[in-house]
Structure 1
Amino acid sequence: MTTTGEARSTARHGPWWWDRWRSAALDGSLALVSAVECAAEGVPFARDAGIPLAAGVVFGVVAGSVLLVRRKWPIAVVLVSIAITPAQMGFLMGIVGLYTLAAAELPRRIIVALAGMSMVGTMIVTFVRARQDIASGTWTLGDWFVPFASITTSLGLTAPPVLLGLYVGARRRLMESLRERADSLERELQLLAERAEERAEWARGEERTRIAREMHDVVAHRVSLMVVHAAALQAVARKDPDKAVKNAALVGDMGRQALTELREMLGVLRSGSGVLGDKGVRPGEMPAIPLAAVGAAAAAAADSAREDGPDLGELDELVGQSAAAGMTVALSVEGVARSYAREIEQTAYRVVQEALTNVHKHAAGAKTYVRLAHRVSEIAMQVENEPPPEPASASAVRLPSGGNGLVGMRERVLALGGVFVSGPTDAGGFRVSAVIPSP
């Protein structure tokens, strides 16, 4: 994570206003050199001004030491350098001060104004000094040299530090902007990664729920019929051997069908991305299964279940299996049958299948009516049973119930934008109704 903004302002390790000790040492060194320079230049200034040499040296040391606060108060440093320009002092302080001023986060008008004042002051001092030297005979050049020397000197001491400071300041602001942008992008990527992980976890949970629902639909109905046939087999084993043999054959057929469907579904899970393969895994060990691979396997299993699942064409066989188990069930179809989307046909079939399974569990022997209606833009189904003839018959069969059948049916129907209603009837039975839109 990059360090910008408030984090950088709190990451100070230097003394006073410096961010780092290295910056403090640099400014201290520059201030020391500037103080020595101004002290040396204070000697001729004291002679020309007619003041004690010690006063000129002390004045130079104090003036040159102002460079120590260039990062804190760059305007003050430039103003001091302009003030001592007539005394021909502080050339290093003027150059470093202008550079610091241009590189600082200050309005451009202030930078331009102070740089202009420094250039004008240097030009005037240079012009006066050159005229004095020519008048005293120190220089024998023409009059053209005075303006030339004053202009070039003022530009040479002002323009380079200002331009360099502007460049460094712009580069510093650009780097700061890039750091902030990188920091923002890093936070966004981290947030996106967290959201992607949450979505992946949610998708894996949804796929696990879907696989569990498919396995419940596959197993519950057939196993319930097997239990009913087994109970009937136990009741007629001695009285009617032929019927007992028939019931035993039905139990075997349904068991084989349930095992076949389970094997197909588990085979998809086992082959999905190789997550359950036994390559490189010793007996008794549990292979490491990545969560992403589990989600992929669950998605593959769900897709396989959607592609190979039952449809409405198998509804007659479903009703016949319940009738073979001893249930009195009547199927009625209204409207003209047509083809629907695969999800719609599977959902309609599963609703009827789960409703018949619930009748076997809770109302064994009750007369049941299965109604299917093909409408213009929807398909409706209803499974209604009368009260069981013997209330104790359901408990005698001892069919366990997980309580998730109605919940699973409701989730399936609502996922397709349909309506699901279930509840007891006035006659003491139970009714399951569902309507699924089919544009």
Structure 2
Amino acid sequence: MQNSRFKNIPEITEALWLRLKESGLPIHSFLAEQGGTLLKEAYEAPYTAMDLHRMFSITKSLCSLATGFLYADGRLSLDDRIADYFPEYCSCGEIHPWLKEMTIRHMLSMETCHSSTTYKADTSKNWVESFFTTPPSHRSGQIFLYDTSSSHTLAALVKKLTGKGVLDYLREKCLDKTGFSKEAYIILDPFGSEMGGSGLMARPTDLLKLGRFCMDTLKKGTGKFADYIREAVSFKVPTIHFGQTTDEQQGYGYQFWRIRNGFAMYGMGGQYVLFYPDLDLVFVVTADTQNMKGGNQKILDLIHDAVKKILDQPEQIWNPEGPRSWDASYRLFANPGGFSRLSLSFGPAEGALALSGPDSAFHIPYSFHTQTISILEEYKQRIAVQGMWAGPDTLYLPVQIAGECVGSIHFLLRLSDERVTVWMKKIEETYFHEFQGFLEGVKE
């Protein structure tokens, strides 16, 4: 290896495998390679090297790669409106402008106008069609929320433009050259469309080969597809309000997650392809943590601790800054919480958020440097808030509740000169129901 400090990677990788085995987690496989050299390949019963494994949301990253090839070949633009490709689902009545304005780029970065996966509301109806007929909850391109129907629709777009499923199209473009198994497939939904958000059945070695292709393209590739890969794995949208693990709070690209010191493909239940570009290192893990609270965090922490032993640099964490000052009031559109007006002000050190409606008014002060403690008057509960910038125009306000009620309220505000989009979530069992969902407003 070119750098002498990397010589201990095989030993650290072996020790990592032993720690994963001893963790008590149901690990099914662990693979590692660096620069194309296999460092470790291990399996636990009942899985073997030949078994196809459900990879769940890793499928999303394959949809991103297929979209990237279509972009590189000039068959679509990332700023094309998705509704234009599916007129069969958009011709019955006037399409909502928030849906009409949604682009392929919004779908890739999980900034759709939907607050959740659309087809889960009624799986007996066409899953792709549901993406276009479900009423939107907010403007597209504003807030990250995990929307598997977005990836499902991207897979349908690949089929519409190429006549091939995502895997068959990728086999033609890159997978056959990597040795990706012929037996791999993507499960179909009840209406014959590939489950582009969760349906991949493949071998762990397939993911390792795909991981090496992505890493080599990132580091050495040229042309429009390589440029797309570099964009896809970079920070595009904050996820600090959404992520369930430390790594999931590092941001999102185009159907790829950012993680500490790298990026990743993620699948439910502990399916991971983890990339560390500075080390030219790829890890693959398959598991089933669905019934183990904190299992994913444990896997990621064990791997992160191993990587830290190799790296001699600080963690690469997105730490943006926002505007130095702000003072604006917004008229809010109709919303379930009944709020009609939002005011936001801040300077370099502190600020305040105010929400009001016909029957209520809330004033929430905060600081950027420490916890600001106050009383949420409507509920007579003590709160503490320290604001932070999740992106250059995205303010995150986590509100801790301390009193008879114990919990939190989370605000993520996407700011622009003329409009505001606010995502709200309350985590408390009894009260604070008005702080749930989205607010859209225009500057007064």
Give the alignment's TM-score, normalised by structure 2: 0.24
**Larger RCO, structure (CA 8 Å, separation 6 or more):** 2
The normalised TM-score by structure 1 is: 0.24
The structure with the largest alpha-carbon Rg is: 1
Name the structure with the higher helix share.
Answer: 1
Bigger fraction of residues in strand: 2
